[in-house]
Structure 1
Amino acid sequence: MSVTVQSVLDRVQITLQDTTGVRWPAASELILWVNDAQREIALFKPDASATNETITLVDGTKQTIPSTGNRLLSVVRNMSDTALNNGVGKRSIRIVEREVLDAQTPDWHDPTVSGDAAHGSTVKHFVYDEADPRNFYVYPGVSGSTHIEIVYSANPATVTDSDDLAVPDIFANAVYNYVLYNCYMKDAEYTGNNQRAGNHYQLFMASVTGKSQLDQITNPNANASTNAANVAVA
């Protein structure tokens, strides 16, 4: 069962001993901080808002993720040109360094290039620059209708008190602590509130960054090199 926004607001108001929302109104303040929390989580932990989607590429090499996205996370594979949401998977797509392509085929962006870099309907590789997180380049470039499956970090949907959280349930405590951080910062001039705010922000960051560390430990890709070697031997 998904965690509701209202359940988080209830916990916050109980902690604040303000269940009627007199000092910290739920509709005009708390809900805004819930949405701020979700965006902060997506910023610090992009895969918290990971979205898997089949997109249609534009002609050429430069591509952009959907307008709702913050950054590209991965490019998976080519997809069939029918039933975009349930298309048939085709050739996998691997990341490559731009310097390699630039050195081997300097004209790979040119739509008139020939040979292996000739623009067509199947993507073999993609290039990604973290300094430009919403854009990526495909090799070879495409001409005509080409569809690929990507994973990107989306902007969390703006929620109201009647919605579920737009981030995974596991981040409910992080949202709770971020809202309390803002509540106490509002009254930071009162004794102890500045410290309380700092404590809740630390708990928020611990939830988000701790999840990142756990993901690294339990990441199935950790043994990818060993498994690849075993597959090659087999």
Structure 2
Amino acid sequence: MTITAKQVMSLAGRLLQDEEAVRWTLPELADWINEAVKAIVLAKPSANSVTAVLSLTAGTYQELPDQYQTLLRIVRNISSEGPPRVGGRVVRVTTRDALDAQAPYWHDPRQTPYKAEMRQFVFDEESPRSFYVYPGNDGTGKIEAIVAELPAQITATGDPAALASYDQDIGLEDIYLSPVLDFVLFRAMSKDSDAGNPVGAVAHYQAFASAVGIKTQVEGATSPNARAGVAGT
């Protein structure tokens, strides 16, 4: 099951003793839900992972389309998107050092001709939205990849002051309800006024960070390099 913004807002209003959204408005809560989702997806990319077909550009250097946050895995070449989708050669992760040692001119199409089909790729955690392919692509290749996608922003579909206007999927499974709620409560209690609660705000942020941190450690294999036992690129 997935979480709706309405669900988070309702719980937050109850815990803040502001069920009529007088002190903390619904558009404000929506902004904080969007912040929470982004923070979770950045810390734990597989929280909203999708399998997508990517079109490759000419050359060895590739970038993910704007809607994707990071590359998690490249599975195979695709000969037809279908339906049904038709797969080709599997793709393996390697290190830049290994390719540099074995084929020093692998970036140069005069030495290593570009092709439609790729065999290996190089991923660098410092640049999660880009990767290199070997051999360089001729601009016609397509691959199937698992990528992290940032869900669409939550905005009111009707009256911004009506809870029903936020009955929208935030893009995360219900196991993330508590971290999202903790983040919203942290932001609400951090407001500078008599209604603020700095001690409560810190407690909720720590709960949020702990929950996301634990899940990130448990799922520490999100990097393509970690899955393949690659120490670094």
User: For the superposition of Structure 1 and Structure 2, which TM-score range results when normalised by the shorter chain?
Assistant: 0.7 to 0.9
Equivalent of 2:123 in 89, 103, 128: 128
User: How far 1:100 moved relative to its partner?
Assistant: 1.4
State the identity as a percent.
Answer: 38
2:91 alignment counterpart: 93
CA distance in 1, matches of 2:109, 2:172: 40
The answer to which structure has the higher strand fraction is 2
Any conservation in 2 of the 1:81–1:146 contact (CA below 8 Å)? no
2:34 alignment counterpart: 35
Any conservation in 2 of the 1:58–1:142 contact (CA below 8 Å)? yes
Q: Which amino acid aligns with 1:14?
A: R
Q: Which amino acid aligns with 2:153?
A: T
The RMSD of aligned alpha carbons is: 2.3
Is the partner of 1:32 in helix, strand or coil? helix
1:229 alignment counterpart: none
Is the partner of 1:165 in helix, strand or coil? strand
CA distance in 2, matches of 1:89, 1:153: 21
Any conservation in 1 of the 2:2–2:171 contact (CA below 8 Å)? no
User: How far 1:190 moved relative to its partner?
Assistant: 4.3
With over 3 angstroms needed to count, the CA separation of the structure-2 counterparts of 1:216 and 1:72, relative to structure 1, is closer
2:51 alignment counterpart: 52
User: How far 1:191 moved relative to its partner?
Assistant: 8.8
1:162 aligns with 2:167: yes
CA distance in 1, matches of 2:17, 2:142: 53
User: How far 1:111 moved relative to its partner?
Assistant: 1.6
With over 3 angstroms needed to count, the CA separation of the structure-2 counterparts of 1:224 and 1:58, relative to structure 1, is closer
1:18 aligns with 2:18: yes
Which stretch of structure 1 is more off in the superposition, 48-57 or 9-18? 48-57
User: How far 1:118 moved relative to its partner?
Assistant: 2.9
Consecutive unaligned residues of structure 1, counting only runs of 5 or more, are 226-234
User: How far 1:75 moved relative to its partner?
Assistant: 1.1
CA distance in 1, matches of 2:178, 2:139: 47
1:139 aligns with 2:144: no
1:201 alignment counterpart: 205
Aligned length: 215
CA distance in 1, matches of 2:26, 2:100: 54
1:103 alignment counterpart: 101
1:80 aligns with 2:75: no
With over 3 angstroms needed to count, the CA separation of the structure-2 counterparts of 1:89 and 1:107, relative to structure 1, is same
With over 3 angstroms needed to count, the CA separation of the structure-2 counterparts of 1:9 and 1:49, relative to structure 1, is same
Any conservation in 2 of the 1:184–1:193 contact (CA below 8 Å)? yes
The answer to which structure has the higher helix fraction is 1
CA distance in 2, matches of 1:177, 1:224: 35
Any conservation in 2 of the 1:73–1:153 contact (CA below 8 Å)? yes
1:153 alignment counterpart: 148
CA distance in 1, matches of 2:188, 2:134: 49
Cα offsets for 1:50-91 (capped at 9, x unmatched): 1210111111111111111122111111111342x6421211
Any conservation in 2 of the 1:68–1:154 contact (CA below 8 Å)? yes
1:67 alignment counterpart: 66
Consecutive unaligned residues of structure 2, counting only runs of 5 or more, are 156-165
Cα offsets for 1:140-176 (capped at 9, x unmatched): 1121521101112222220231211212221111111
